[in-house]
Amino acid sequence: MSTYDLLIIGHVTRDIQEYQGKRTKFTGGAAFFSPIAASRSKAKVCVVTKMAEEHQGVLDILRNEGIDVICLPSSRTTSIENTFISDDVDKRRVRLLSQADPFTIDDLPDVSARIYDLAGLFIGEIPPEMIAHLAPKGPVALDMQAMLRYSEGEKFGFRDWPEKREYLPMVTYLKADSQESEVCTGTADRERAARILFDLGAKEVMITHASEVIVYDGRRIYRAPFNPANLSGRNGRGDTCFASYMTWRFEHDVEESVRYAAALTSIKMEKFGPFSGTIQDVLTRMQTL
C-alpha cells in the first residue's frame, strides 16, 4: 500500500477570471493549488480528481511537480467564472459553468495518508459520509466551502450545513474564509467564529481573510498577516494557505505553521497561478511578517 503525507480529493477545474475588464482562463480548484503548495513544501502528495477526458492534459502540471494523480472518468469538467469587483479577494461573483461528477466512497484509492484532505468546491461533490469513512484511518481535513457553497442555475451562494454537529467532531483540520465562517456560525467576528467551530468539534480551525490568516486550536488564536506586493495571483489563496499550513504542521507547532502558511501564500498571490517558489523563499518572507 502506498503512503502519502496528503491525499487530496477534489475537482481540478478550468476557470475564468475577470478583473478590471480582463478575462483570463486558468487551471484552478483546491485540488490544483493545494497539492503544488504542499509538494513544494516537501510533502508527498496524491490527488484524486474527476474531469472529462479531453481536459486531462492539464494534470501533467501536477505530475511534473512530482505529485501522483488518479483521474477518474467524468462526463464533464468543473468550470467556474470568478469576477472580482475590487482588490478585496473576499468579494467576488462566482458562476458555476459546468460541474464534474461527484465523488463517492468507492472512488477512494487503497492508499494511506497522514492527512486525508477533502477539497470540495460545492455542496454535493463530496458526501459528508466520506468524513466518517476516513476519520478512523487518520486525520481528516475539510474545506468548509464543500459543505456550504451552492450554485443553482444562475444563483450562487452559501447555506449553513445542517449536519455540522454530527461531522465536525470527526475533522482535525478545518478551513473557512471569512464569509463561510460567518454563514456557519452567525458571526462576522472571525475569532469568535473560530472558537464556535472548535466547540462544534474541529480540532484546528483556520479562517482566512484578505488581510490575514488565523488558527484556533482550543488554547489561543494564532495569526499572521498576508503581505503580497500585488494581487496578480489572488485565485487559490485559501487552498494554498491551508495546504501549506498542514504540511508545515507535520514538524512544527501551530504558531510557526501559521506564519509559514501566510508567508508562502503572500508569495503565491504576487504571481498568477500556483505557488512556484521554494521553502527558502518562504523562510525569507517569514522574516517580514
pLDDT tens digits for 91-146? 667 788 899 999 999 999 999 999 999 999 999 999 999 999 999 999 999 999 99
186, 187, 285 from 277: Cα distances, Å: 37, 36, 11
Q: What's this model's pTM, rounded to 2 decimal places?
A: 0.94
Neighbours of 266 (CB within 10 A): 24
pLDDT at residue 152 in the model: 77
Q: What are the φ/ψ torsions at residue 17 (nearest 5 degrees)?
A: -110, 130
Confidence check: pLDDT of 86 > 80: no
Compute the distance between CA of residue 68 and CA of residue 282 in angstroms, rounded to an integer. Answer: 24
Compute the distance between CA of residue 144 and CA of residue 90 in angstroms, rounded to an integer. Answer: 15
CB contact burial 45-66 (16+ within 10 A = b; e otherwise): bbbbbbbbeebbebbebbeebe
Compute the distance between CA of residue 5 and CA of residue 46 in angstroms, rounded to an integer. Answer: 8
pLDDT tens digits for 4-16? 999 999 999 998 8
Compute the distance between CA of residue 149 and CA of residue 158 in angstroms, rounded to an integer. Answer: 4
Residue 100 sits in which domain range? 3-286
Q: What are the φ/ψ torsions at residue 115 (nearest 5 degrees)?
A: -145, 135
C-alpha cell at 73: 472518468
Helix (H, G, I), strand (E, B) or coil at 31: helix
The secondary structure of residue 270, as a DSSP letter, is: T
Compute the distance between CA of residue 245 and CA of residue 257 in angstroms, rounded to an integer. Answer: 5
Neighbours of 132 (CB within 10 A): 14
Domain count of the chain? 1
The secondary structure of residue 246, as a DSSP letter, is: H
Q: List residues bridging with 222 in a β-sheet.
A: 215
Residue-averaged pLDDT of the chain? 94
pLDDT tens digits for 185-234? 999 999 999 999 999 999 999 999 999 999 999 999 999 999 999 988 88
Domain CATH number, residue 71: 3.40.1190.20
% residues pLDDT > 90 (the chain):
84
pLDDT tens digits for 25-49? 889 999 999 999 999 999 999 999 9
pLDDT tens digits for 243-286? 999 999 999 999 999 999 999 999 999 999 999 999 999 999 99
Compute the distance between CA of residue 226 and CA of residue 114 in angstroms, rounded to an integer. Answer: 27
